[in-house]
Structure 1
Amino acid sequence: MAKDKYFVEVLAADPANIPEVVLLNGFVGNSALENYTRLYLNAVLNEYYEIPTEAILHTAPATAGANNPLETAYLWVKADAELIRKGKSVADTKISFFSGPIQNAQAATAAANAAQAAVAGGPTGVLNCTQAAPVCGNTAWQGCPDKSN
């Protein structure tokens, strides 16, 4: 694995023979697999690639700062390398995030509010009237029945 040189010096050392690469960004760590390097895709370390170490052509630290406080790294990997992706998918994470007790309570409150609004006459508060008033206040608007009936 080449380090401490600019990526162009490594990847384009022979300008007539530039390799096809994939650029990845993440948190580099040790792999449980022999001859592999792990690249975590997020800071909670629940998604990662296992990358054959010999397929990594160059690494470079990303510049630390406001946009990168955790100091990720860039990896130039052979385009034909077979990576192993492991961990939770983003869809799985979203599904579990939106199915917890807070979300369930919010959904129950929203359902109760919708049922109450239906009994009270919809979003306008007037029975059989679903049009919003064109002006705020106690004004009557066309399309809704007279409340005095």
Structure 2
Amino acid sequence: MRPFALGLALTMALPPLALAAETAPADVSFADAQIADPLTDKAGDPAEGRSVFMDRGLGNCLACHANADLDDQLFHGNVGPEMNGVADRWEPGQLRAILVDAKQVFGEQTVMPGFYTLDVGVNVAEKYQGKPILTAQQVEDVVAYLETLKGD
């Protein structure tokens, strides 16, 4: 069989790949300072969320938040609350809302940027202005990670 015909036969024989459904930033719905429904139909991965949390070029959460789980990382910030026991203080829908757009939860005075909104705030790198800093899946991954941070 010729390569083209083989490729066509395989394409027709295989089921189409289903793309994960996700909520677009402009379609996110806040109710009572939370986002009850996940942004994607794929469950969050705590290990991926941990990576996003400590990635200085992505989430950069350590710039503002201390986190005992990442004590091997340098330079934890103290602008935001400590993440130790955060899962005991906030429900997943509340954590999701804070990550998506903290201003919807805490008000305009918060310095925390919105990570899944088109209005990410001021003093944000130019490459992130007008588009989300994180993907919907990355938000779900970080929420899954934060849910592992229970008190002692």
TM-score (norm 2): 0.21
Structure with the bigger percentage of helix: 2
Return the structure number with greater strand share: 1
Higher relative contact order (CA 8 A, sep 6+): 2
Greater Cα radius of gyration, structure 1 or 2:
1
Give the TM-score of the pair, scaled to structure 1: 0.21
